[in-house]
Amino acid sequence: MNIAIHSGAFSWSEKSGVFHLAWNVFQTNKSMNKPKIYLIGSFHDFRDKIINALPDYDFSDPRKFKQSCVLNTVSEDVKEAKECPVSLAVFPKGKSRGTMSYAELGISAVYENHIIIVDEDENADPLLKQIARNYFTNLDDAIGFLKTKPSFSLNSKKEMVSKYPANSDYKIIPCNTVYVCGTIDEELMEAVERADKRGAEKRVIFNSDTYQDFQNILSYDLIVANFPAKPDMDWDRHACFMMGAAYPHDISVLLIDPHEWKYPPLQGLVRRHATTMNNLEDYLVYVKDLHINNEAVVMYNLFKDEQKRIKENDEEKKRKENENSGTDIF
């Protein structure tokens, strides 16, 4: 067995409270007969081609996962993205890139697993090239590469730094630095400005270079992903990647998504799901501590406020209807 030591990304030490360089041990697969490969991608037919062409490998196929509910699906997705030492993500030509695929790649990248990308789209995504150990533009080349039985540098299991560690004792979970990704539009910017004027006291970082933002992920207390329901827009893939990367570090995610039909797997990665910029504004203002003891109280009050608004709006609607009909509701 060959052992090599490489320097990892910056991580945080709970004991010292400072960032430090983490050194990780990697193990080659020469002693492994069938390294397990997680097949990432939308539900197209490329998986059968890969499995049939490469009988010497052990594949994790998400088509065989439980799909009856979000909990079952997402728990298996994230487990395989974490535990499989190799991830092979395929984005077929003429098909939209998988949404949850990017989240799974975010998880795999955090664990520094060996990532192989096949992106047949003519409009290359720089992020995919940056996170890949091996990058191809057609599936046949990737299959040919794997037939050579290359030696992969496989990570030993390493302990993740958690921004919300499981602990029975109460300890403040700060909500000071907020990373915002997805669609950064005028409506979102105005909501952040209103929150600031109301005393939110948050340091807000807007997505610029996703790969660089990913390197700094441990500096974020909360991630906001904005997916507006607008023409020619769906779920921003880079935001999905950051949502996935947040998962191993227990970083809370606030999802802003007003779509009538939700994208189920993404629901399994978020702490709170909101639909309006007013929701975002209130969360930034009122949530100072992400610990459930305090965050839940804030949410209970926001739930009550929402029910009050629903009741008031309903009464106002009935009042107007009766005014138009010439009757009195009392």
Please state the pTM of the whole predicted model: 0.84
User: Among the residues of 84-221, which ranges form H helices?
Assistant: 99-110, 126-131, 139-147, 186-197, 210-215
| pLDDT tens column, 167-205 | 767 889 999 999 999 999 999 999 999 999 999 999 999
DSSP 93-117: TTSPPPHHHHHHHHHHHHTT-EEEE
Q: Do the beta carbons of residue 269 and residue 241 sit within 8 Å?
A: no
**Cα–Cα distance measured from residue 57 to residue 31, given in angstroms and rounded to the nearest whole number:** 14
Among candidate residues 41, 45, 48, 60, the one with its CA nearest the CA of residue 98: 41
| pLDDT < 70 regions, the chain | 1-33, 154-158, 168, 326-330
Q: Do the beta carbons of residue 171 and residue 291 sit within 8 Å?
A: yes
List, in order of start, the domains of the chain with CATH numbers.
35-155 (3.40.50.450), 177-304 (3.40.50.10490)
pLDDT at 24: 34
pLDDT at 276: 95
DSSP 8-state code for residue 10: E
Burial of residue 241 (number of CB atoms within 10 Å: 0-12, 13-18, 19+) = buried
pLDDT at 231: 79
**Cα–Cα distance measured from residue 242 to residue 223, given in angstroms and rounded to the nearest whole number:** 8
pLDDT at 266: 86
The residue assigned the tokens 């728990």 is 75
| pLDDT tens column, 50-69 | 999 999 999 988 777 777 78
pLDDT at 327: 56
Strand partners, 159: none
